[in-house]
Amino acid sequence: MDFRKAILKVREANKILIVSHYDCDGLCSAKILKTTLKKEGKETKIKIVKEISKDIIREIEDEFEKENFDLIIFSDLGSPYLSLLPEDKDIIILDHHVPENIKVPKNIILINPYLENKELCGAGICYLFASKINQNPELIDYAIVGAIGDNQAEIGENKKIVSEAEKIKRLKIEKGLKIFGHVNRPLHESLKNANFFPLNTYSEVVQFLSDINLNQNGKIKSYYDLSKEEKEKLLLEIIKERIRNNLEEPANIFSDVYILTKQPRELMDALEFSTILNAFGRLERYDEAFELMDGKLEKLEEIMLEYRKKLATYLSFVAENMNSFPQTENILFINAKEKIDENMIGTVTSIVINSLTNKKIVLGFAYSGDMVKISARSKIERVDLNEIVSKICEKLGGTGGGHKEAAGGKIEKGKEEEFIEEFKKIVEK
């Protein structure tokens, strides 16, 4: 990726509007850009958005004129909607979504690893860009968290950033147990959620820990708090228990744990950090997200509690109505209407495909004013969701885009069934 033109544009500008996506990767992108540009003496403002649409572009244009900005940087979004962007303003796009297939307009500098057949998350692109402007090694943490948030840390160019972070000792990768909440969740809670073998209640988990002499003496510890010997013992006993239960691949319980060595304990597990940022984003607590990244943790617990409650309600709704949703052998359509918040439908769809169904493709539909927000996730290699979702959305007068295995879009209310029929037709073909 060639950043030269973009750097020149930034040097010329005084007041820069950063428009970024509301998910973890987008929030990390904005944090990196803001910190870097501020250090250069630039005045900046961050605007976090859920998507690009005509209305949002109009808002951005108004803000641009009223507050006398001289440059817009779009991060972690923008590429799929090149023809919607303003034509008379200087624009830099630092994004990894599949670009709209048109000639890039003259006022836009598009930097996108997709154009070079490479994979790098939005925050990774922003980090590379930022490190050509000034040196802020601590910002690499956000490139890592962005990559984890987008499920890309072990893919393509992201791996180079991961290695760099290890080299400068801001990141330590440990082989650990495949659970969520390595550092900040009590071990019995992480274990119960992990489903390594049937453990139905917390007391069963506590009993298991006590049987293997890992009883925590009344203190609630996380996986991270165990000694090396205790961790080894736990891993071994889980594998034994899986063998006893005749489970397939009994040793399939490991995953890499990304520890950010310089972050406070609450944020040092990059996977937990990314979940937190996604939660703040989905609840539209953007200011609090940036405060959190500045080290202010006061709101963390309250916001995560709200998020978990909402998510639990939505997941129960899906579980209870699973059989009544439209479906084929391979595809599930969660037609949630007003029952699931449009901001959360993507997260719900991801969780459902990963742990609540055997279907290979899951789509979620949630009301969004007069429109319906669509989220799509696939585990079938040959299916390109970006292509399919953007094509159908466009045909139905809406917009859509994203990546091969995860895409989203918006159509008018009432067109869900038409969308579902079109989708089935294309995928079956």
Least CB distance from residue 393 to ligand C5P, whole Å?
A: 7
Give 305's contacts (C-beta < 8 A, 6+ positions apart).
Answer: none
Number of residues assigned to the chain: 429
Cβ closest to Zn ion, residue 22 vs residue 223:
22
Q: Answer yes or no whether residue 75 interacts with ligand C5P by CB under 6 A.
A: no
The count of residues interacting with Zn ion (CB under 5 A) is 4
Q: What is the DSSP letter of 412?
A: E
Near ligand C5P by CB under 6 A: residue from 17, 51, 149, 263: 51
Using the rule CB under 6 A, give the single segment among 165-173, 200-208, 325-333, 393-401 that binds ligand C5P: 393-401
Cβ closest to ligand C5P, residue 285 vs residue 373:
373
Cα distance between residue 14 and residue 37, in whole Å: 10
Cα distance between residue 165 and residue 171, in whole Å: 5
Cα torsion through 34, 36, 41, 43, rounded to 10: -20
* 25 contact choice in Zn ion, ligand C5P, none (CB below 5 to 8 Å, kind-dependent): Zn ion
Residue 102 contacts residue 85 (beta carbons within 8 Å): no
Q: Answer yes or no whether residue 405 interacts with Zn ion by CB under 5 A.
A: no
Two tokens, residue 97: 């979504």
Q: Answer yes or no whether residue 403 interacts with ligand C5P by CB under 6 A.
A: yes
**Could you say which residues in the range 246-265 bind ligand C5P, by CB under 6 A?**
none
Two tokens, residue 210: 């006590």
Q: Closest Cα to residue 210, out of 232, 187, 227? A: 187
Using the rule CB under 5 A, give the single segment among 11-19, 122-130, 242-250, 285-293 that binds Zn ion: 122-130
The count of residues interacting with ligand C5P (CB under 6 A) is 16
The crossing angle, in degrees rounded to 10, of helices 158-167 and 122-133 is 50
Least CB distance from residue 402 to ligand C5P, whole Å?
A: 2
Binding mask 61-80 for Zn ion (x = CB under 5 A): ---------------x----
* 375 contact choice in ligand C5P, Zn ion, none (CB below 5 to 8 Å, kind-dependent): ligand C5P
Near Zn ion by CB under 5 A: residue from 122, 176, 186, 281: 122
Query: Would you tell me how many other CB atoms lie within 10 Å of the CB of residue 97?
Result: 22
Q: Closest Cα to residue 282, out of 259, 314, 250, 251? A: 314
Distances (CA, A) of 223 to 16, 135, 188, 237: 43, 35, 9, 14
Least CB distance from residue 150 to ligand C5P, whole Å?
A: 7
Residue 127 contacts residue 6 (beta carbons within 8 Å): no
* 51 contact choice in Zn ion, ligand C5P, none (CB below 5 to 8 Å, kind-dependent): ligand C5P
Cα distance between residue 162 and residue 64, in whole Å: 36
Q: Answer yes or no whether residue 408 interacts with ligand C5P by CB under 6 A.
A: yes
Cα distance between residue 80 and residue 52, in whole Å: 9
Q: Answer yes or no whether residue 407 interacts with ligand C5P by CB under 6 A.
A: yes
Q: Which amino acid is it at 412? A: E
Cβ closest to Zn ion, residue 25 vs residue 342:
25
SS3 assignment, position 395? helix
**Could you say which residues in the range 315-354 bind ligand C5P, by CB under 6 A?**
346
Q: Answer yes or no whether residue 401 interacts with ligand C5P by CB under 6 A.
A: yes
Cα distance between residue 224 and residue 186, in whole Å: 10
Cβ closest to ligand C5P, residue 133 vs residue 411:
411
**Could you say which residues in the range 264-303 bind ligand C5P, by CB under 6 A?**
none
Residue 332 contacts residue 361 (beta carbons within 8 Å): yes
Q: Answer yes or no whether residue 388 interacts with ligand C5P by CB under 6 A.
A: no
Using the rule CB under 5 A, give the single segment among 81-89, 149-157, 274-282, 297-305 that binds Zn ion: 149-157
Write down the residue that tokens 């307009």 correspond to.
105
Binding site for Zn ion (CB under 5 A): 25, 76, 122, 150
Binding site for ligand C5P (CB under 6 A): 21, 51, 80, 97, 346, 375, 399-403, 406-410
